[in-house]
Amino acid sequence: MDFELNEDQRLFQRTLREFVEKDIVPVASEWERTGRYPTEIVDRFRQMGLFGLTVPEQYGGLDLDRVSFALVFEEIARGWMGVAGVLGSHSLATWMIAHHGTEEQRAHYLPDLASGARRTGIALTEPGAGTDLQGIRTRAVRDGDEYVINGTKTWITNARHADPLPVLVKTSEETPAHRGMSVLLVDGSREGLTISRDLPKLGYKGTETCEVVLTDVRVPASCLLGGVEGRGMQQVLSALELGRINIAARAVGVAQCAFDAALAYSRQRQAFGQPIADFQAVQLKLADMATEIQAARLMTYWAAVRSESGAVASEAAMAKYFASEVALRATMEAMRIHGGYGYSQEFVVERLYRDAPLMAIGEGTNDVQRLVIARALVQGTATLGW
C-alpha cells in the first residue's frame, strides 16, 4: 500500500500551491469583502489549463487522474473556497459531456470548454426541488426538431458565465419519474433564458449563484445530452459522484487553512506571559483538528483512487460527509483559538467559518450522504476495509 503522491502529483501540487500563494491568498479577503469578480484568477485558471481538468486529451483537456483532481480543489480552497466554485460545477459538466455526450456534442463543446473559452455549470435545483430531483417541474416539450423549455432553476453556480448550461428537465411524465428526465445543453444566449437574480449568500463569494428562468426557450433536438431521452437522472447522478470528491477536497482545503491559521496564531498570541500554544487546552484542540483533517484527506484521496475504477457511491459519500463535518468543526475551533479576533473580518478564520457550511449542503446534503452510505451497507455494495 502506497500512501505517497507520485512524482507528477507532487510536482502538480507544488505548482498549485505556488499559484495559490501568489495569486489567490493576497487578494481573497479583500475581493470577497468588496464582491469583486475574480477575473484575474479565472484568467490564471485558463492559462494553467484548469478548465480542462476532466476533459480528455484528444479535446485539449488535462484528463487528470482523480487524486490530482482532488489536489486542485484542496489547494485552491486552502486559498479561497469561493473561487474553487468557478472550476467545480464546470468540471462536473465537462465530465458529463465527455462521458455521456454524443460524438458531435463532444467535438462541438469540449475543446472550448477545456481552454476556458467557454465555461459551464450545472442546473438541477429548483425552488421546489433540491434533494428530491425527481420532483422538478421544468419541462421540455418536443416541437419538430426542437425542444421548448419552461421552468425555473435556482442556486445555479456560474450561471452568468455558463455557455452551454446543462439543464435537467422532464421530457415525459413517465413513472418512475427518473425515466422521464433528460439533460439539455442550453447555450447561454438562447432567447428566453434569463438570469433573474443573484442569490445573497453567507459565504462562497467570488462565484455567482443565481436563479435562472427559462421561458419558451427553444433549443435544437441535437442539444439532448447523449441523444436519447430519459437518461438525465443517471447522467447527473454519475457526475455528482465526482462532485462529492470535489467537495470533500474543498473541505480538506478549508479545514487545513483553519488549522494553519490557528497554529500560527497560537504560537504568537501571548496570555499569562506565555504563548497560548503552551496551554494544554489549546494543544488538545490543535491535535484534534490535525488528526481529523488528516483522516479527511486520506478518505478523500481513497475515494478519488477508488473512483478511477468505477462507481463509488458510498466511498465518495463517506469522504464528502466526513470531510465537510471536519471543516465545520475545524473552522469553529480555529475561531475559538483566535478568541475575539476570530470573529473579526480582519482574520481569515471569519471567512473560513462562513465558507465551511456549504460543503455540508452542496452535492447532496450530509443527511442524504448518510442515506446513500446506509443504502449501500444494507444492499451489501459498500466496501469497509480492504
User: Minimum CB separation from ligand FAD for residue 202, in Å?
Assistant: 8
Exposed, middle or buried by CB within 10 Å (0-12, 13-18, 19+), for 92? buried
**Residue whose CB is less far from ligand FAD, 74 or 363:** 363
Binding mask 202-241 for ligand FAD (x = CB under 6 A): --x----x--------------------------------
Run of H or E including 40 = helix 39-47
| Phi, psi (deg, nearest 5) at residue 345 | -70, -5
**Residue whose CB is less far from ligand FAD, 138 or 300:** 138
**Residue whose CB is less far from ligand FAD, 201 or 329:** 201
Rule CB under 6 A: say whether 365 interacts with ligand FAD: yes
What's the half-sphere exposure (Cβ side, CA atoms, 13 Å) at 250?
30
User: Edge-to-edge strand order for the sheet containing 181-186?
Assistant: 181-186, 165-170, 139-143, 146-157, 209-220, 193-198
User: Minimum CB separation from ligand FAD for residue 383, in Å?
Assistant: 23
Torsion 340-362-317-50 (CA) sign: negative
Alpha-carbon distance 111 to 28, whole Å? 30
Check if 229 is active-site: no
Rule CB under 6 A: say whether 77 interacts with ligand FAD: no
User: Minimum CB separation from ligand FAD for residue 212, in Å?
Assistant: 10
Alpha-carbon distance 155 to 141, whole Å? 24
Exposed, middle or buried by CB within 10 Å (0-12, 13-18, 19+), for 104? exposed
Rule CB under 6 A: say whether 124 interacts with ligand FAD: yes
Rule CB under 6 A: say whether 162 interacts with ligand FAD: no
**Residue whose CB is less far from ligand FAD, 67 or 140:** 140
**Residue whose CB is less far from ligand FAD, 91 or 266:** 91
Alpha-carbon distance 287 to 293, whole Å? 10
From the list 69-77, 187-195, 284-292, 366-374, the region that binds ligand FAD by CB under 6 A is 366-374
User: Minimum CB separation from ligand FAD for residue 255, in Å?
Assistant: 18
Alpha-carbon distance 142 to 169, whole Å? 12
Rule CB under 6 A: say whether 358 interacts with ligand FAD: yes
Q: Which of 5, 195, 332, 368 binds ligand FAD (CB under 6 A)?
A: 368
- Determine the residue with CB nearest ligand FAD: 130
Distance (Å) of CA 83 to CA 42, 47, 258: 8, 15, 17
Run of H or E including 193 = strand 193-198
**Residue whose CB is less far from ligand FAD, 262 or 358:** 358
Rule CB under 6 A: say whether 201 interacts with ligand FAD: yes
Rule CB under 6 A: say whether 80 interacts with ligand FAD: no
**Under rule CB under 6 A, how many of the chain's residues touch ligand FAD?**
23
User: Minimum CB separation from ligand FAD for residue 32, in Å?
Assistant: 14
Which among 74, 241, 350, 363 is annotated as catalytic?
363
| Phi, psi (deg, nearest 5) at residue 29 | -65, -40
Place of cell 495569486: 23
Please give the single-letter amino acid code of residue 179.
Answer: R
User: Minimum CB separation from ligand FAD for residue 194, in Å?
Assistant: 17
Residues classed as catalytic: 363
Using CB under 6 A, list all residues that contact ligand FAD.
89, 121-125, 130-132, 155-157, 201, 204, 209, 358, 361-362, 364-365, 367-368, 371
